[in-house]
Amino acid sequence: MKRWLGGLVCVLLLVCMQQGNAQDGDSMLRRKRKPVEVEGKHSPRTALRWSLIPGGGQVYNGQAWKVPIIYGLLAGVGYLIYYNYDKMDTFRDEYLYRVDHGGTPRMQDYAGYPTSNIYSLYNSYNRYFQLYSVIAAGIYALNLLDAYVFGHLYDFQIDDNISMNVLPSVQPSPYGLQPSLAMSLRF
């Protein structure tokens, strides 16, 4: 089942990336024509499509150094999600067993814990599981945002003609008495 689902996700990603590349002539006549992208031009939309695979958009933008950071964060948060889910599941099973069997413990490791503490531990691990799941979604969203923004800024050129001048200036007084001295910044 997992292989089938993984294959389906890969096929959907390929279809999204190839959108509009394999259209027949009749469908082109019925639609409005989209502007044709110049071969070799950098596209933010393509960067966003590639970033559906974590780190793909960063590689497309020429920022492959970010890929280990993205995968490191996702792996760390993924481990925390797994750990907290496993503990939450253990304490949920222990609590439900105690409720169904009059308070007798199921596992000897938790025999010294009262049932209320088992339920509190279950709630605590459940909260952390949900928190880390939201953090993982946030990391993935930042991956998408980073690829899209840097896809737009890919062709942005900064040359040596950028300068800043700090000059003294004389400003009129709001009360009309004496002008005041100030500093002006010019970019």
Predicted confidence band at 12 (pLDDT cuts at 50, 70, 90)?
A: very low
Decide if pLDDT at 124 tops 80. yes
- Higher-pLDDT residue of 129, 40: 129
151 pLDDT tier (thresholds 50, 70, 90): confident
Q: For 16-45, what is each residue's pLDDT tens digit? A: 444 444 444 444 444 454 544 445 677 888
pLDDT > 90 fraction of the chain, expressed in percent and rounded: 39
Output Rg (C-alpha) for the chain, integer angstroms. Answer: 29
Confidence of residue 183 (pLDDT cuts 50, 70, 90): confident
Confidence label for 129 from pLDDT (cuts 50, 70 and 90): very high
pLDDT band, residue 163 (cuts 50/70/90): confident
Could you tell me if 124 and 145 are in contact, meaning their C-beta atoms sit under 8 angstroms apart? no
Under 8 Å between Cβ of 153 and 171: no
Note the pLDDT of residue 152.
84
Instruction: List Cβ neighbours of 90 (8 Å cut-off, separation of 6 or more).
Output: 107
What is the structure's pLDDT at 40?
A: 61
**Dihedral angle, C-alpha 124, 129, 141, 62, nearest 10 °:** 120
* Cross-strand pairs, 141: none
**How far, in Å, CA of 147 to CA of 139, rounded?**
12
pLDDT of residue 1: 54
